[in-house]
Every structure is written in C-alpha cells, then in structure tokens.
C-alpha cells in the first residue's frame, strides 16, 4: 500500500502543526485534546521544520521538571525530521521508522507538508496487505 492510500483512508482533514515559538504547555494541550502522540512543527503550515513527540516532552520534564512548560517547542523538537513521499510504500516507511526508532513521519511533496503517518497507520496497512496476499496465495493453491 502506498502512503497516499493510507492518507486517504485516514480522511483528509489537513495536517495538524504547531508553531516553533509555541510553548511546551501548548503542545501538551493539543496532544491531550487530539489524543495524539506527536506534532509536526512548522511556522507556515507548509514546511516540516521539526517534530515534537510525547517522548521529547517526557524526557525534558524528567530533566527540568515543570519549569520547562514555558519553554518553546523549538527548544526540544527534533529538527529536520525524516519524511516520506506520497508514492512511498508502507513497507519502506515501516523500515525507516524501525531503523530510526520513531513512530511519526511527515509526508512532504515538493517541499510542502501534505500529511503525517504514524506507525499505527503503517502497521494497519501492512497487515491488510499481508492478509490480502495470504488470501490470494490460498486461492491459487486451492485452484480458485
């Protein structure tokens, strides 16, 4: 399955981003309200300058305590995140996520942010693909 098919199956309600100058407290508010684990950091909604995930926040809280809540997202985000394209396969994205040990990946086309896929989206797509392959192979063996 290709990334654009995953995006389509998720529905097309745009990409949620946070400004690099926003505070960590604001990021926590969005993550909690939207029940998500990560946000693309962008000042214009089009470029993926960074990514901030719950892991970054937990790590910073452990190091600095509540004092970090007023810090800026850009202070703790991961810069230049690994991105994928709409034509990439779910398999290639899964490999990049596993190798890099992260669960979020912005989808960027011609320098413009067009979506985000999570490890959950990609695993779901791979399972569906493998199940279809299994059914097809079973059909061939049974002579259907």
Contact 47, 113 (CB under 8 A): yes
Residue with the closest Cβ to ligand AMP?
A: 53
Q: Does 115 bind ligand AMP (CB under 6 A)?
A: no
Binding flags for ligand AMP, 19-38, as an x/- string (CB under 6 A)? ------------------xx
Report the run of H or E that residue 76 belongs to, with start and end.
Answer: helix 73-76
Of the candidate spans 28-36, 51-59, 60-68, 123-131, the one that interacts with ligand AMP by CB under 6 A turns out to be 51-59
d(CA 128, CA 68): 41
Please state the length of the chain: 144
Structure tokens at 49: 């300058």
List residues near ligand AMP by CB under 6 A: 37-38, 51, 53-56, 78, 81-82, 100, 102-105
């Amino acid at each position: 399955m290709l990334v654009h098919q995953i995006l389509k199956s998720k529905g097309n309600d745009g990409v949620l981003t946070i400004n690099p100058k926003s505070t960590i407290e604001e990021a926590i508010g969005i993550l909690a309200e939207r029940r998500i684990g990560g946000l693309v950091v962008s000042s214009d909604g089009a470029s993926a300058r960074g990514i901030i995930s719950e892991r970054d926040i937990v790590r910073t809280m452990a190091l600095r305590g509540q004092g970090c809540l007023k810090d800026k997202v850009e202070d703790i985000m991961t810069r230049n995140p690994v991105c994928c394209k709409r034509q990439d396969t779910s398999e290639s994205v899964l490999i990049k996520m596993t190798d890099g040990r992260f669960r979020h990946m912005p989808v960027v086309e011609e320098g413009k942010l067009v979506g985000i896929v999570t490890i959950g989206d990609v695993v779901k797509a791979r399972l569906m693909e493998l199940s279809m392959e299994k059914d097809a192979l079973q059909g061939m063996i049974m002579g259907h």
